[in-house]
């Protein structure tokens, strides 16, 4: 791993550079192919990336693993497994199979973290508590399989606006309630500022997560309004919104987290721009608002 220095800046070989903890989730600059991402990050002195299953599968999982390795890049997480709230037995079995493949892919990529988005309520279902129980049941099946392959499952709470159609796990507290049923080395949680910023219990839950060694991944994005239709692609560039990003980074650090700070922004405005320009802006914003 490099020292994460920005290009053109002289740094000692030992002192960690300002971008040492920064990881770029590939969905943030999805106009880039995997080779573009590898080259762009390397050129910018960034040594860590978060990957998504679909583009990795399209490129080839082994080939992607080799590309990252040859570029000196660490894969900090693979997004995403999950979507196991189906009550139908066949759908449930299919979801478990798909998650085993996701675990295999994470292992091949050399990342220890598979992010899980739990899934929403099946059509016509009004029992969100039961759906959350099915999430825990699926993790019980998958966690040992993942652990054997060196992969930890990371339960990600998504903002409550996604509770019905995407993720019935809505708060860090709920995610920890699930994760703590399993050994910490097998199941952790994701702390993503976009999803938890509004929650006045988040600070206490971050302490709980850190104390238990459960913070598997820390992701940052800012909250901006108005939200777009479907509310999926409305995340803000770091510093453009109302989230105290540095405050959250300090909280996870104080709770003992020493891992990467992964920037994951879904924004058509960023996707429409030149990738290198977006990356440079993220690095600058990261230094100003997060580090």
* Per-residue tokens: 113: 């973290």
Give yes or no for residue 199 binding a copy of itself (CB under 8 A). yes
* Residue matched to tokens 């239709």: 229
Q: Which of 51, 191, 221, 243 binds a copy of itself (CB under 8 A)?
A: 243
Give yes or no for residue 53 binding a copy of itself (CB under 8 A). no
CB of 277 to a copy of itself, least distance (A): 25
Taking residues 143 to 182 in sequence order and writing x for each that binds a copy of itself by CB under 8 A, - otherwise, the string is: ----------------xxx-xxx----xx--x--------
Give yes or no for residue 269 binding a copy of itself (CB under 8 A). no
* Per-residue tokens: 248: 């959250």
CB of 198 to a copy of itself, least distance (A): 4
Question: With 0-12 CB in 10 A as exposed, 13-18 as middle and 19+ as buried, what is 20?
Answer: buried
Q: 52 pairs with which residues across the strands?
A: 79
Give yes or no for residue 125 binding a copy of itself (CB under 8 A). yes
Report CA torsion sign: 159, 163, 165, 169: positive
CB of 197 to a copy of itself, least distance (A): 8
Could you tell me if 215 and 209 are in contact, meaning their C-beta atoms sit under 8 angstroms apart? yes
Cα distance between residue 158 and residue 270, in whole Å: 22
Give yes or no for residue 228 binding a copy of itself (CB under 8 A). yes
Give yes or no for residue 185 binding a copy of itself (CB under 8 A). no
Cα distance between residue 207 and residue 251, in whole Å: 8
CB of 207 to a copy of itself, least distance (A): 16
Give yes or no for residue 198 binding a copy of itself (CB under 8 A). yes
Give yes or no for residue 90 binding a copy of itself (CB under 8 A). no
Cα distance between residue 143 and residue 188, in whole Å: 10
Name the helix (H) or strand (E) containing 134.
Answer: helix 128-148
Cα distance between residue 240 and residue 170, in whole Å: 24
Give yes or no for residue 291 binding a copy of itself (CB under 8 A). no
CB of 186 to a copy of itself, least distance (A): 23
What is the binding site for a copy of itself (CB under 8 A)? 121, 125-129, 132, 159-161, 163-165, 170-171, 174, 197-200, 223, 225-231, 241-244, 247
């Amino acid at each position: 791993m490099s020292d994460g220095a920005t290009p053109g800046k002289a740094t000692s070989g030992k002192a960690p550079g300002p971008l040492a903890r920064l990881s770029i989730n590939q969905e943030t600059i999805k106009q880039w192919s995997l080779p573009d991402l590898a080259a762009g990050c390397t050129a910018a002195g960034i040594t860590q990336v978060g990957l998504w299953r679909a583009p990795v599968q399209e490129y080839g999982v082994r080939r992607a693993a080799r590309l990252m390795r040859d570029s000196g890049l660490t894969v900090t997480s693979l997004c995403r497994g999950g979507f196991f709230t189906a009550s139908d037995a066949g759908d449930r079995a299919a979801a478990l199979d798909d998650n085993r493949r996701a675990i295999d892919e994470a292992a091949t990529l050399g990342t220890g973290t598979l992010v899980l988005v739990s899934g929403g309520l099946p059509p016509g279902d009004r029992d969100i508590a039961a759906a959350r129980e099915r999430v825990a049941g699926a993790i019980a099946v998958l966690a040992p399989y993942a652990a054997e392959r060196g992969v930890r499952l990371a339960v990600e709470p998504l903002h409550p606006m996604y509770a019905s159609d995407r993720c019935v796990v809505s708060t860090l507290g709920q995610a920890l309630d699930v994760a703590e049923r399993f050994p910490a080395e097998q199941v952790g949680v994701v702390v993503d500022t976009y999803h938890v910023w509004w929650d006045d219990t988040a600070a206490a839950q971050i302490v709980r997560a850190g104390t238990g060694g459960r913070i598997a991944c820390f992701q940052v994005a800012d909250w901006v309004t108005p939200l777009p239709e479907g509310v999926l692609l409305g995340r803000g560039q770091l510093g453009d919104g109302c989230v105290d990003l540095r405050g959250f980074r300090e909280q996870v650090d104080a709770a003992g987290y020493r891992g990467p700070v992964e920037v994951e922004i879904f924004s058509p405005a960023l996707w429409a721009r030149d990738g290198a320009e977006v990356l440079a802006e993220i690095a600058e914003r990261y230094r100003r608002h997060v580090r």
